[in-house]
Structure 1
Amino acid sequence: MMDAVTELSGIGVRGRLRLATEALHQRVEQHLDLDRDMGRDDYIALLIRFFGLYAPLEQTLSELHWTPTGLDFEARRKLPWIAADLADFGLDAGARAALPQRKSLPRPGSIAAGLGVLYVVEGSTLGGQLILRRLGPKLGLSPTFGGRFFASYGADVGRMWRAYVAAVENLGGDEGAVAEIERAAIDAFHLFGAWFAGLERGGATISPGGADG
């Protein structure tokens, strides 16, 4: 009989991550509640919440040495898109600097841990364009106005995801590294879930420049 590690190795690192985080992923989606009837203020509040998490998160990820993975982290930054989307709704640099951000963010201690965090961040791009297509007509969003974050890589979203998957699968022979990727992905989903639960408590504020009308 195969032991657990041998059996899991047959589904690859990506499969292990999906199994380990499926319930947590669903919980984050419940907090985001992107299927609700969302108005412009709701959408701006959502962007503000993303900004408050991605600003410190990308800073910690940028401190890792990504070259051995073959991934260009700078090309994967999402914060500039969020900032530009908020600017479209009247939040200038000063207003964005005053937005609440997640404090005391845990720092990934290794590139494997960083890859675990990226599983959550990069995975979110896969459904982002569907969200934009649904919300765009109602809210006046496009990949060049208010919807850059959800449009993400545009036509390159599949290629960017496959490059990420290749990077984690390259570590498939190192059980210690794979376990670290898995733990970091689980922790990242917990982080996202706790942060976006703030949306349900009214945890994002909107400047006057982002009001409807």
Structure 2
Amino acid sequence: MQDATIDYTQDRKKEFLKRLRMHTQSQHTALEEHPLSVSLFKEEVNLDDYLRYLKAMYGVVAGFEEAYYPILKDWVPAIELRRKTPWLAQDLQLLKSDIPSSISVPTFLEYSPNPAYLLGKMYVMEGSALGGAVIYKHLQPKLGFSPEEGGRYFYGYGSQTAGMWRAFLEVLTTQALVENAEPNILKGAAEQFVAIQTFFDTQLLVSR
């Protein structure tokens, strides 16, 4: 009986993740097709493209961690190990680039105490670490950086990436089974993709 209950719970979690991916598919694709994202995969990608993206992500990541980590720490174990602002700051400093001031932190990051909604947002931020591993493999031979020399952010969790992702998904899917939590998670994830894209748009205007 217990094994059957466990299997049923795992099936529900898997089905939820499928719904989450489907619900955010169009927003995810739109962000991947944003000019700042596309620039990293150009055959002739250069340091300016790279720094422009890092500065944009600094605003997104710093804003997210400043606004939401104090709340999420009660829901995500060892959340401090997931901070990525220091990685971005390290890369920008090593590459002799200015670190955006706090004024640049996105104003779209509205406060919300709902943990399910915030976990939905964090799903997008943690998922970026998976994409970062792909970007790292593409950029490393072209720009010649390493985790210690300009590539810390995209290197991310390194060999721990899969484990960190699974640990977060366990928190997320467990919360999703709580009554009325799923709609809030779906809403948070979709809105975070859109929020990042909106902020990227402002950064394109700034860089012109």
TM-score (norm 2): 0.85
Q: Does 1:13 align with 2:16?
A: yes
Query: Which protein has the bigger helix share?
Result: 2
Within-5 A mapping of 1:173-188: 173-188=177-192
Report deviation, 1:104. Answer: 4.7
Deviation readout 1:111-149 (Å, 9 max, x if unpaired): 211211111001111121121111111112111111111
- Tell me: CA distance 1:75–1:168, structure 2 relative to 1, closer, same or farther (3 Å): same
SS of match in other structure, 1:64: helix
Q: What is the aligned residue count? A: 194
**Which portions of structure 1, spanning 4 or more consecutive aligned residues, are displaced by more than 6 angstroms?**
none
Q: Do structure 1's residue 89 and structure 2's residue 95 form an aligned pair? A: yes
Q: Identity over aligned residues, as a percent?
A: 31
Letter in 2 for 1:177: A
- 1:196 correspondence with 2:200: yes
Quote the offset at 1:76 in angstroms.
Answer: 0.7
64 and 70 in structure 1: CA distance in 2 versus 1, 3 angstrom threshold: closer
* Alignment match of 2:167 (pick from 163, 167, 170): 163
The partner residue of 1:148 within 152, 169, 174 is 152
CA shift digits 1:150-182 (9 cap, x unpaired): 111010000000001101111232241111111
Q: CA RMSD in A?
A: 2.1
Matched position secondary structure for 1:25 = helix
| 1:25-64 equivalent positions in 2, closer than 5 A | 25-31=28-34, 32-33=37-38, 34-36=40-42, 37-64=44-71
Equivalent residue letter for 1:66: K
Whole-Å Cα distance in 2 between the matches of residues 75 and 11 of structure 1? 26
Where relative contact order (Cα < 8 A, 6+ residues apart) is larger, the structure is 1
Task: Give 5+ residue unaligned stretches, structure 1.
Answer: 1-7, 206-213
Change (3 A) 1:134 1:62: same
